[in-house]
Structure 1
Amino acid sequence: MRTFSLLKGMPVFTISGERIGTVHDLSISESGQVIGLVIHQQALFKRAFHLQLTDITSYGQDGIVIKLKDSAAKKMPEDTLCFTKDELLGRMLFSEMGEELGLLQDVYFKEKMGTIIAYETTDGFFSESTVIQSKQPPTFGKDTIIVSVYEQ
């Protein structure tokens, strides 16, 4: 299980040892699955590309290793949202019963499958965070995210 906050800024290496960039964002499908990472490449001008979860060999404490031997840029799939770019981070979470759960601060997901299993929320800058577990995929609205917090 991983959180986005632990991955953000982590270096990404190919299996042959070439550093290709750092994790910048998390891409999530409209159905609520984490499908990949957005990587910023080290270059004169920052370039970003999409890395699918299936391309990742291992998640280490200090870096991520991928299967690809070259760092060919891949475009972001069209039906995805990004955790920070599309402002999911900081969006209000509600239960399907209309209960306000707090502002989204982080997501917990299974690395291999991409399944989001919990959300970290906060009520504000100086309040403690709360981890909310969910077994169902979220619904992304324009202003809020609806999650199932009840057994089904």
Structure 2
Amino acid sequence: MTLRTFSLLKGMPVFTIKGERIGTVHDLSISEMGQVTGLVVHQQALFKRAFHLKLDDISSFGPDGIVISQQDSTLTKVPADSICLSKDELLGRMLFSEMGEELGLLQDVYFKEKMGTIIAYETTDGFFSESTVIESKQPPALGKDTIIVSVYEQ
């Protein structure tokens, strides 16, 4: 099981298996159930275009780039029902436990690269404080104002 964080993926180049660069990772798309569904890739063109890349279409996550098996059918429009970490301002949103404890501001997410399951959240209390990693075995509740996560064994 390999874990990934959004902060390490952001800005990473995306290549086809034939070596053609198709863009860079710009955002992470998450379903309403709190599952990572894919990456938002900005293509290099006259006008920046954003495309959705499903996790299933990724051949490998390397330390310096991401490789996809084929380009034609892989790049689609970002699904209307997906939630994006940056665009929808999940990063910086307050995390609460289901018991109402304030856990900090969301700084990053840790997920299983093939399954898309978010297993931990990196939070901070502010600009000069250290970050904390909070593990959760349950999907988050992505609310308009906060994110509720289960931090207790169930």
Q: TM-score, normalised by structure 1?
A: 0.97
Q: Give the share of equivalent positions with the same residue, in percent.
A: 84
Q: Does 1:137 align with 2:139?
A: yes
Instruction: Provide Cα deviations, 1:96-152, integer angstroms capped at 9, x if missing partner.
Output: 000000000000000000000000000000000000000000001110000000000
Q: Is the 8 A contact 1:14 1:70 kept in 2?
A: no
Deviating 4+ runs (over 2 angstroms) = 69-73
Task: Quote the residue 2:92 is aligned against.
Answer: 90
Q: Is the 8 A contact 2:120 2:133 kept in 1?
A: yes
Partner secondary structure for residue 5 of structure 1: helix
CA distance in 1, matches of 2:146, 2:71: 39
Q: Pick which of 77-86 and 98-107 moved more.
A: 77-86
Q: Is the 8 A contact 2:38 2:52 kept in 1?
A: yes
CA distance in 2, matches of 1:146, 1:19: 37
Partner secondary structure for residue 12 of structure 1: strand
How much does 1:75 deviate?
Answer: 1.2
Partner secondary structure for residue 61 of structure 1: coil
Q: Is the 8 A contact 2:36 2:117 kept in 1?
A: yes
Task: Quote the residue 2:151 is aligned against.
Answer: 149
Task: Quote the residue 1:119 is aligned against.
Answer: 121
Count residues with an aligned counterpart: 152
Task: Quote the residue 1:7 is aligned against.
Answer: 9
Task: Quote the residue 2:35 is aligned against.
Answer: 33
1:42-121 → structure 2 map (5 Å cutoff): 42-70=44-72, 73-121=75-123
Q: Pick which of 66-75 and 46-55 moved more.
A: 66-75
Partner secondary structure for residue 24 of structure 2: strand
Q: Is the 8 A contact 1:107 1:120 kept in 2?
A: yes
Q: Is the 8 A contact 2:54 2:74 kept in 1?
A: no
The CA RMSD over aligned residues, in Å, is 1.0
How much does 1:44 deviate?
Answer: 1.1
How much does 1:72 deviate?
Answer: 6.3
Q: TM-score, normalised by structure 2?
A: 0.96
